[in-house]
Amino acid sequence: MKSLDWFLLLLIIVFTVLRSVKAQNQAGFISLDCGLVPKNTTYVEKTTNITYKSDADYIDSGSVGKIKDAYTTLFQQQVWALRSFPEGERNCYNVNLTANRKYLIRGTFVYGNYDGLNQFPSFDLHIGATKWSSVKILGVTNTSMHEIFHVVTQDSLQVCLVKTGPTTPFISSLEIRPLNNDSYNTQSGSLMLFARIYFPSQSSSFIRYDEDIRDRAWLPFSDNETMSISTDLPIGTNNFYDVPQAVMKTAAIPANASKPWYLWWTLDDVSAQSYVYMHFAEIQNLKANDIREFNITYNGGLSWYDYFRPPKLSISTIFHSIPVNSPDGKYNFTFTMTGNSTLPPLINALEIYTVVDITQLGTDKGEVSAMMNIKKTYGLSKKLSWQGDPCAPQVYRWEGLNCSYPDSEPSLIISLSLKESELTGTITSEISKLTTLKELDLSDNDLSGEIPAFFADMKLLKLINLSGNPKLNLTVPHSLQERVNSKSLTLILNPTLKGEGKKVPVIAIAASMAGVFVLLVILAIFFVVRKKKPKSTTAPGPQSVTARIVKTETIQSNPSIITKDRRITYPEVLKMTNNFERVLGKGGFGTVYHGNLDGTQVAVKMLSHSSAQGYKEFKAEVELLLRVHHRHLVGLVGYCDDGDNLALIYEYMANGDLRENMSGKRGGNVLTWENRMQIAVEAAQGLEYLHNGCRPPMVHRDVKTTNILLNERSGAKLADFGLSRSFPIDGECHVSTVVAGTPGYLDPEYYRTNWLSEKSDVYSFGVVLLEIVTNQPVIDKTRERPHINEWVGFMLTKGDIRSIVDPKLMGDYDTNGAWKIVELALACVNPSSNRRPTMAHVVMELNECVALEISRRQGGEEMYSMASVDHSLSSASEFAPGAR
C-alpha cells in the first residue's frame, strides 16, 4: 500500500514537472494579457499552458477594463481583461524583436460589454506605419481574432490601434510567436490569416499550443459532403511547417467517392492575392492493390497539382510560390480521382492567407531609438501623439517633429520642438543621434547643467533655441562658439536670467548684434533692388522670416528646361563628334554618334527632324535626367537645344545594348549565366529606382533589351527616357495616357485601357527576362507560339527547363536559378496587373538568382537544391505548385 502511495506521488510530481517544463518552453513567445492588473502579474492559462503577463510595459496609454462577469466562463483567461483607448487617434504597442525574423502576430478582441454601452466598436490595426486589418465587433460575445505572418525589418515592432469612427478601440490580448523563416514565403508582403482548418473525426475544439509548437490556432471543420478518417499512428511531420500531430492524424474524404469533391470559399476583397497551403498524409493502411491518386484543379479547371499520391504516414505540403486571385473573389478547388485510383481523395489540413503589402517605410531605426530614449529620459509618455513610428505615416507624425521622406529610404527627423514640455535635468546626448536635425527648440523648460559640446558636431544643425531655461549654464563651449561666429548656426539664449544678475556670455550678445546688423543690411539691399526691379505680374506669396540669398537667371526660350548648366551649343556638338565622324547606332529617334568632351568619351544622340520622338519627348528626357541620378540609369552629360538642332549627350557605354550582346553582334562572346543574372539585377534596380526612388515616381514606358546598355565591364544601365511619365502619389494607382511603347513589350492591359501604372514596366521587364533566359526574339511568327510569353509557357508543358534556356550556354547554368527566373518572368507578364510583382520584389528575387549562381560556381548548389521546389513534378499551369 505504501509502495502504491509512493508511486502515485511520483506520478503527480512528474506530471507537475512536465506541465512546468511545457509552460516554460516558450522561447521567443510574447504573450500579453492586455489590461491585466497589477502590472507585475503573470499566470499560466489552464488549457494551453501559455504564460501570460500584463501589457503595461509595452504601451504608454489606454485605460484598463474587464468584460462582464457573466461572460468570463465562455472564454480563456487572457481575454477577461482588456485595454481601451478613449484618447488619441493612434495608440501603439512597442515590442523589441529580432530583425529579419518572421513572426506570427495575433490580436484578439472580445468586447463583453466592458463599458456597459452595448455599442460594438470598429477600428483599424496597423503594423508600424501600414494598415494591417480592420476590426469590426459583431456581438457582445463574438471573438474577433486577427493574425498575420510578418518579417520584422528592424529590432522593434509597433502594433497600433487606430480610431476610425465614433467608437473606442480596445484589445484583449496580443501574442507574438517566432516562425521558421523558410516557411510561408511570399513574393512580396506579409500574410494575413483567412482560414486554418483541420478535419477531426468527432466534435473537437480548436488546436493551439502546446500541440502546435508555433501556437497557430487550427479550427475544426466538417460538413455533409465529407467524412473524417483518423489514425493513432505517428505522422512524420518534419518539414518547414511544423503541422501538429493532432492535425495530421485526421483527414477528410468525400462522402460520395464517385463524384468530384469541392472545397470552396469566397473573399470579400476581390483584388486580394492569396496563398493556399494544403497538407496531406496517407493515414489509412492501404491494401496491396489500393491506390489513392487524384488531380487538384481550381476555378474552372486551372491545374493545381496532377497525379498526387499522399505519402504514407508522412506530410506533404502543396503550395504555389506565386499568389492566386479571383476576379469575383470566389475560389473553388476540385479533387478528382485519376483513372488509376481505387480510393477517393483526402486532405488533412488547409491554410488560406491573403497578402498585405507592408510598404510604408518608417523612420530610420537609429532615430527611432533616439526618440524613444528622449521620450523615456524626459518622461514624455503623456504626449498622446508620441505613439508608434515618429514620422510615418505623415498624418500621425509625432507632435513637435518635422521629417524628411527620402526616396526609397527610411524617414529622417529634421526638426524637433520640445518647447514648454516641462523638461528637467540636463540636455540628453540622445539628441546627437538625430543626424539630420536642422532645428532644435528646447525653450521654456526647466533644463539645467551645461550646454553640450556635441551640438557643434551636428553639421546640419542650423538653429538651437535654449531660451527660457533659467537653470541652464549659459557658457557656450568653444567649438560651438566657432560655429556661431562662422554663421553656420544660430544659437538663441536668454537675454537675462529671471531674478538673477548673471550676464549673458559675450558671444551670445555679439551673435545677436551681428544678426541684427546683417538683417538691416539685407533689408537695405532688398529695398534698393525692389526700386530698380520692374513690377511683376506674379501674385505675392508668403515671405520667410529667414534671410536667404537667391540666385536668379533669365529663363530661355523653353520655359520647361530650367537650367543652363549642361546646355551645349550646336558648334560644340560638331566639335565633340568631329563632324559626326563615327556612328554608334541608329533608331527611330535618329542617329547616335561617338564623341569626346573634355577628354571623356560620350554618346551623342541627334534627334532626327522626321523622328517620332518629337520635341516633347526630347524635353521630357532632358528634364528627367537632370533630376534623376542612379548608378544603373544612363547619365546625361549635357543637351543641345539650338534652333532645329536637338541632341542628348550621354555617358558612353562601350559595350552597346543588351540585344546586341545577346545576338553576338558585339564580337561573338556569349554572355555567361552569371553575366545575365547580374545585368538583370542592375537593370531592375534602375527601374525600381524610377518607381520608388523618384518623387514623383516615374514610369519608363519603353523597357526593352535595346534600352539596356552595357559599359566596358558589362555593367548595365537603363536608357532612353523620352516616353517616361510621372506617376501619381496621392492615392491613385494609375494615370490615363495615350498608349506608347514597343510592340511585344507592351502591357496588354495598358493597351486595352490606356491606364498606365508601374506594373506596365513590370510587364515589359518580364519580357526582357524571358529574352535573357532564352535568347529568343520577342515575336517570331515562324514559332508555333509567336510571342515569347506564350512560347515559353507552351514549351514548359514538357516540364523541362532546358527546352527554353539559350543553347549557347551549353548547360552551364544553375537549373534552380533558371526555374526561379522563369517563374518570376511569367509572374511579371501576368495579363492582370494586380497579380504582377513590384519591381522591389523583382530585384529581391533576382539577387537570389545571382546568389544561386555564385553558390553553384563555388560548389554550393546542392544545399539549395535540397530545399527547393521539385519542378519535375510541376504542372504546366500558369502557377507552378511546389511540394515539400
CA distance 202 to 220: 9
Q: How far apart are CA 520 and CA 376, in angstroms?
A: 43
- Using the 8-state DSSP alphabet, how is residue 693 labeled? I
Torsion sign (Cα): 397, 401, 402, 403: negative
Distance from C-alpha of 73 to C-alpha of 115, rounded to nearest angstrom = 18
User: Nine-digit cell at 686?
Assistant: 534602375
564 annotated as belonging to a binding site for a ligand:
no
State how far the Cα of 363 lies from the Cα of 404, in Å rounded to an integer.
Answer: 10
Distance of CA 724 to the CA centre of its chain: 24
Burial degree of 2 (CB within 10 A; 0-12, 13-18, 19+): exposed
**Sign of torsion over alpha carbons 872, 877, 880, 884:** negative
Query: How far is the C-alpha of 462 from the C-alpha of 793, rounded, in Å?
Result: 60
Contact between residue 827 and residue 819 where contact means Cβ atoms under 8 Å apart = no
State which amino acid sits at residue 640.
Answer: C
Q: Dihedral of CA 439/443/445/451: which sign? A: positive
| Three state DSSP letters for 410-445 | CEEEEEEECCCCCCEECCCHHHHHCCCCCEEECCCC
Measured CA to CA, the distance from residue 487 to residue 61 in angstroms comes to 43
Give CA–CA dist 325/835, Å, rounded. 7
DSSP string, 360-371: ---B-HHHHHHH
Dihedral sign (CA 158, 164, 168, 173):
negative
Buried b or exposed e, range 291-306, using 16+ CB within 10 angstroms: ebbbbbbbbeeebbbb
Question: Rounded to an integer, what distance in angstroms lies between the CA atom of residue 760 and that of residue 829?
Answer: 9
Report yes or no: 447 and 426 within 8 Å, Cβ to Cβ.
yes
- Tell how far CA 149 is from the center of its chain: 13
- Buried b / exposed e over 394-421, threshold 16 CB at 10 Å, is eebbbebbebeeeeeebbbbbbbbbeeb
- As a whole number of angstroms, the distance between CA 303 and CA 324 comes to 12
Q: How far apart are CA 479 and CA 492, in angstroms?
A: 16
Q: How far is CA 95 from CA 30, 59, 165, 804, in A?
A: 9, 9, 26, 49
Report yes or no: 651 and 602 within 8 Å, Cβ to Cβ. yes
CB 170 within 8 A of CB 215: no
In which element (H, E) is residue 793 found? helix 788-795
Q: Catalytic one among 702, 747, 761, 806?
A: 702
d(CA 345, CA 310): 9
The phi and psi torsions of 356 (rounded to 5 degrees) equal -120, 120
Cβ atoms of 613 and 588 closer than 8 Å: yes
Asked about 780 being catalytic, the answer comes back as no
Closest CA to 348 of 256, 247, 218, 254: 247
Question: Are the CB atoms for 175 and 30 separated by under 8 Å?
Answer: yes
List, in sequence order, the alpha helices (H) in 419-556.
Answer: 478-485, 506-532
Q: What single letter denotes the amino acid at residue 127?
A: I
Q: Hey, which residues are catalytic here?
A: 702
Q: List binding-site positions.
A: 605
Binding residues for ATP: 605
